Amino acid sequence: MAHAVTPSTAPNSGPTPVAYEQALAKYEPVLGLETHIELGTASKMFCSCPTAFGAEPNTQVCPVCLALPGSLPVVNRKAVEGAIRLGLALNCSIAPWGRFARKNYFYPDMPKNYQISQYDEPICVDGHLDVTVDTPEGPRVFRVDIERVHMEEDTGKTSHVGGATGRIHGADYSIVDYNRAGIPLLEIVTKPITGTGELAPLVARAYAAELRDLVRSLGISDVRMEEGSMRCDVNVSINERGADEWGTRSETKNVNSLRSVERAVRSEIERQAGVLEDGQKVVQETRHFQENTGRSISGRSKEEAQDYRYFPDPDLVPVAPSEEWIEELRATLPELPAAKRARVRAEWNLTDTELRDLVNADAIDLVEATVAAGAPSAEARKLWLNELSRRATEQEVELASLPITPGQVARIIALVAEGTLTNKLARQVVEGVLAGEGEPDAVVEARGLKVVSDDGALGAAVDEAITANPDVAEKVRGGKVAAAGALVGAVMKATRGQADAGRARELILERLGAK
Ligand code: ADP
Ligand code: MG
Ligand code: ZN
């Protein structure tokens, strides 16, 4: 029973992968991304069950999402709105009429034994999204064509218990939670992405990041890859450079971070090159990305569409958005990320590198809100990108999740500008706010952090420093002004760094007649 089994990769390892540069010298990659976005609607796609994350298993269910006999689905209008708004933001055409389809297959996480999806009548078609990739020669823009955006419902969540890997093989039993069954999903499918060459992994990553930011700006999902509200399937094929036809693609599932999207593409190119160099053929299959190894293992061989026996769902009326409704929704589109980047770049006078740092740190909105609260953009950028980014990394949270508001950051910047705080003291105020000690002014008060610049308190510290260092004082009196630095140091030490160093120096020189 309890014999130790080391999970082996041997049956799955296949021919030795070819090193990336070498693979790219001979082969040209083609990509396709299928991204699922969980919509943040209050209720499910076809029933009124709540969608909140983290509830007790099987408490957010009803006859419709459990597919009990006689129950009938009704489309969630908010979900359709979200789909249309995303389609418009992706420059798609919105279909004037379309039906839901049943995608039939058996799996225990899907009580109906079919998933309601859209097949040949998706709600949005033929769009595009421009993505920017940094190259040594500067930023390069790739246009990713969007094939379609369609609506569907999520499945429940199965957990396989008792095995070493959490996968069904080797598990003692499995349990299923239907809370997620029926949560609205959008699937965004790209057309094949060609012509990226060695930049393929970066283009895939940039696309996922851009799509995430776009969806977030629309406010239709929280798009958290680590929580599964955005999931990418990455299709990759390679063909010999100059070949007339694309190669056979594999589809890597479970790719749940931007970094993994990049790694999945890269490792799949290396693996497929190894297969071809070994004289074998790439098989069309799904693969599973392994976070720990950065490689994927083979899943099932891929079904063809006909295996799903798609047919129009007779329980649902067609979705037929009117022109007026579409135009109403178009009017609700916010400033989209690309336009926002161009605007702040001009407004804040940024270089390519400065803009890239802001984008990579996901800090544009935070800096913008800090500027709106009265801070100069340069100071706001500095605080978010240095001190606050460092703390976010330390605590392994996103910048926006730090417990400090742009208003508080702006106040700290103002306290520095008016001379109440030095930069060093400002860092302590940041620390205090993050530790929950209250507003910046309260932290300054409670921690006694004000710069000591009034001549009374500072004068006393200066006098003490002179008395304690008579030989240094003598040198300064004798004209060696540079020696005053040691006395300033003593004052800073005595005031625990809170003295206004410039004013302290003035007072020292004045007292010693060296001015
Ligand atoms: P499926 O339902 O089988 O996953 P889809 O049409 O939903 O098929 O998605 C396939 C994805 O793979 C699309 O993004 C498509 O652009 C992409 N794709 C198609 N052919 C290739 C290929 N030869 N190499 C890489 N990607 C491809
Ligand atoms: Mg698919
Ligand atoms: Zn329900």
DSSP 444: H
**Which of the listed residues 27, 28, 34 should we mutate to test ligand 1's pocket, taking the one with most ligand atoms within 8 A of CB?**
34
Does the pLDDT at position 75 exceed 90?
yes
pTM of the model: 0.84
Distance CA 105, CA 102 (A): 9
* Structural domain boundaries in the chain: 20-328, 337-421+429-435, 455-511
7-62 residue pLDDT tens: 444 446 789 999 999 999 999 999 999 999 999 999 999 999 999 988 999 999 99
**Which of the listed residues 186, 207, 249, 284 should we mutate to test ligand 1's pocket, taking the one with most ligand atoms within 8 A of CB?**
249
Does the pLDDT at position 452 exceed 80?
no
Distance CA 14, CA 2 (A): 29
- Expressed in angstroms and rounded, the spacing between residue 409 Cα and the centre of ligand 2 is 44
Mean pLDDT for the chain overall: 92
| Residue type (1 letter), 165 | T
Q: Residues lining ligand 1, CB < 6 A?
A: 30-34, 147, 189-192, 235-237, 246, 249, 251
pLDDT-derived band at 347, boundaries 50, 70, 90: very high
Q: Which atom of ligand 1 is nearest to the CA of 246?
A: 23
Flag the least confident range among 113-122, 243-252, 458-467. 458-467
**Which of the listed residues 189, 196, 236 should we mutate to test ligand 1's pocket, taking the one with most ligand atoms within 8 A of CB?**
189
Does the pLDDT at position 306 exceed 90?
no
Residue 487 and residue 506 in contact, taking contact as beta carbons nearer than 8 Å: no
Q: Which atom of ligand 1 is nearest to the CA of 190?
A: 14
Token reading at 357: 């740092």
pLDDT at 322: 98
Max avg pLDDT among 117-126, 299-308, 462-471: 117-126
Which residues have CB less than 5 Å away from ligand 3 (the ion)?
47, 49, 62, 64-65
174-215 residue pLDDT tens: 999 999 999 999 999 999 999 999 999 999 999 999 999 999
The torsion of the CA quartet 379, 385, 388, 393, rounded to 10 degrees, works out to: 180
Q: E strands along 54-113, which residues?
A: 93-94, 101-104
Does the pLDDT at position 305 exceed 80?
no
pLDDT at 4: 39
pLDDT at 1: 36
| Minimum CA distance residue for ligand 1 atom 5 | 189
Nearest to 33 by CA among 248, 251, 243: 251
| Minimum CA distance residue for ligand 1 atom 2 | 305
Percent residues over pLDDT 90 in the chain: 78
> Which CATH topology does 455-511 take?
Arc Repressor Mutant, subunit A (1.10.10)
DSSP 3: -
More confident residue, 179 or 451: 179
Ligand nearest the Cα atom of residue 67 = 3
Token reading at 313: 């769902």
Percent residues over pLDDT 70 in the chain: 97
